[in-house]
Amino acid sequence: MRITLVVILIILFNGLYAWLNNQAQYVGADVAKGKLASLSYAPFRVGQSPLKEVFPSTEEIDQDLRLMAKTTHAIRTYASDGRMGPIVQLAGKYGLKVTQGAWLGYNASDNRKEITALINAANSYPDVIKRVIVGNEVLLRGEMKPETLIEYIRAVRKAVKQPVSYADVWSMYTKYPELIEEVDFITIHILPYWEDEPIAVDAAARHIERAYRAVKKEAESIVHGKPVFIGESGWPSRGRQRGDALPSVVNAARFIRALIHTSNENGFDYNIVEAFNQQWKSELEGVVGANWGLFSAKRKQIIPLTGPVYEHPDWFVRWLLATLLFVALALAYKRRFAQLTVSQSVILLGFMQILLVLLVAAVAELWSTSYSVAQHMYTVFIVMVNILTGSLIIERAWRMLRAPSDGNGSGTQLYILYLLIAAFAVYKTYGFSVWGRYLSFPSAQIYIPIAGLIGLVLIHWITAKRLSRHTFNLHRLIGNTVTYYALDKIAGFTLLSMGLAMIYGETRAFMLGRDMIQAYPDFYERLQLSLILTMSNGQLLLWLVSLLVLALPFLFAGRMQHIQQRAV
């Protein structure tokens, strides 16, 4: 009965914590009538991709436009050739105005087709297409010279009646001021998350105002009265953190409402990126690239424009699943609790619940950020490794509580698993040290091994009633009797070294940013700021802590016979 009561109390405590941690959050005033001025639209759904030339049907595009008409007054497209034609044809049906784009790149033949399609669409649907944009960030990507781009802009201006522009990050118009004379209106992208000096969400609206005014001032010095259009601005709902810029649903909603408030105050013309999450972008920009939409790839709303916002609206389902797993595991250990005291049982049950909550959180995170069959298979493999590791850790915890000196027949298996986990961590961290711009920190993939080590250290401390260097010995913790002293040291020092390499790589990436160099020409000032941006990244710090937790048990691991002799 005591154990049953403990189980119930743990379930209730976990439910209370989950409920308190997932309360609705106020993120700013509602968007007027719940409708935006303009919204970027790419029509691709789950399994569809322009990279693989798998396009949506006309019926799917029609469904999208009907849905968007409830959310926005206008849309912006990025391509005109191929399967994009139905967008313009159907937009007028729902009263949507269109800023029509032409996608330009390396291939001159494809560029000519895009320009021709753009001109034809603009002349065929003058009541729907109100302005056109020739090229999107082609200069930023380095795929075209300004002189060639200007030729395309001039050709389109001669052929259509609508105002013509080119779209790129806001600093490109200051880098290539000659573009200002060539366009009818200036289209700039202001994405605080992607700035060389990332901007926290609370300061993002002020940054947009500063960037807008900087471009406007530059334009006024060349041509008076040239309109400026914020062609892209938004915030990702998921993905890796950059400096203080943290992707989340709440932050995305907060950003959009602040942007609209600032735009209304200043009379800015804006477009939000984007309508729907584009899973295919994960191949180019990782998880963060696939999560800029107001709606999911399955057309379910993620970011509400009115009312309070929930970061995890499915929190109850997660809690229920963790609870069911917890009850099942507690029943499986029912007879074993008879060999423990009540206090020992409380410790083991609490440990079980924590691991299961982390397991459910990891599964939810990994599965929802898998966008292909291969990624889903990888997620299944990682989850299975976590379940195996967690099972062995719980078994070890029970043995430690029952008899601290008791060995564990599964210690060798745990040791092999932790070696593999360490190798995985080294591999992932190496990626961050080389080029981590689009890589997400894989903390969720090793929640169980990390929490397991921390739990075993605490249990060893409690049972031994003292804290010493042997408390952190990996082999003592997992009950392993076969050791490889040199391998342990290599694993431990490599993990620490890669942590330092990651800090170097992240700092170096900030240091080399073009806008960073321009804003902070002094090397030491830029270095100081880059280090601050690196070390203020909560996700990076969590991964560093994970590396440290993995490294220390390997570094404190000694030859078991030496430990046994000292114990004697």
User: How does pLDDT run across 325-367, given as a tens digit for each residue?
Assistant: 999 999 999 999 989 999 999 999 999 999 999 999 999 999 9
**What would the two tokens of residue 452 be?**
């397991």
Q: For 307, how many CA atoms within 13 A lie in the half-sphere containing its CB?
A: 7
Determine the distance from the C-alpha atom of residue 300 to the mean position of all C-alpha atoms in its chain, rounded to a whole number. 18
| Residue 1 confidence (pLDDT) | 72
Q: For 269, how many CA atoms within 13 A lie in the half-sphere containing its CB?
A: 15
Residues paired with residue 188 on neighbouring β-strands, in sequence order: 168, 230
Instruction: Enter the DSSP assignment of 92.
Output: G
Instruction: Enter the DSSP assignment of 1.
Output: -
Residue 280 pLDDT > 70 = yes
Nearest Cα neighbor of 343 from 11, 1, 9, 3 is 3
Burial class (CB in 10 A: 0-12, 13-18, 19+), 334: exposed
pLDDT digit string, tens, across residues 213-240: 999 999 999 999 999 999 999 999 999 9
pLDDT digit string, tens, across residues 441-476: 999 999 999 999 999 999 999 988 888 888 899 998
| Residue 95 confidence (pLDDT) | 95
pTM: 0.93
**Average pLDDT in the 525-552 region?**
97
What's the chain's length in residues? 568
Provide the CATH number for the domain formed by 26-289 in this structure.
3.20.20.80
Work out the angle between the directed axes of helices 315-332 and 342-368 (0-180°, nearest 10): 140
Task: Give the span between the Cα atoms of 67 and 543, in whole angstroms.
Answer: 39
Q: Where exactly does CATH 3.20.20.80 map onto the chain? A: 26-289
Confidence of residue 405 (pLDDT cuts 50, 70, 90): low
Q: What is the helix, strand, coil percentage profile of the chain, to 5?
A: 60, 10, 30
pLDDT digit string, tens, across residues 508-517: 999 999 999 9
Alpha carbon of 265 to those of 32, 206, 209, 260, 418: distances in Å? 13, 12, 10, 8, 56
Task: Give the span between the Cα atoms of 500 and 362, in whole angstroms.
Answer: 26
Residue 430 pLDDT > 70 = yes
352, 410 in Cβ contact below 8 A?
Answer: no
Q: What is the DSSP string of 245-276?
A: B---HHHHHHHHHHHHHHHHHHT-EEEES-SB
Task: Give the span between the Cα atoms of 325 and 262, in whole angstroms.
Answer: 47
| Dihedrals phi, psi of 80, to nearest 5 degrees | -120, -25
Residue 568 pLDDT > 70 = no
Confidence of residue 408 (pLDDT cuts 50, 70, 90): low
Omega of the bond leading into 285 within 30 degrees of 0 (cis): no
Average pLDDT over the chain reads 93
Confidence of residue 561 (pLDDT cuts 50, 70, 90): very low
| Residue 409 confidence (pLDDT) | 62
Confidence of residue 563 (pLDDT cuts 50, 70, 90): very low
**What would the two tokens of residue 497 be?**
């070294």
| Residue 2 confidence (pLDDT) | 81
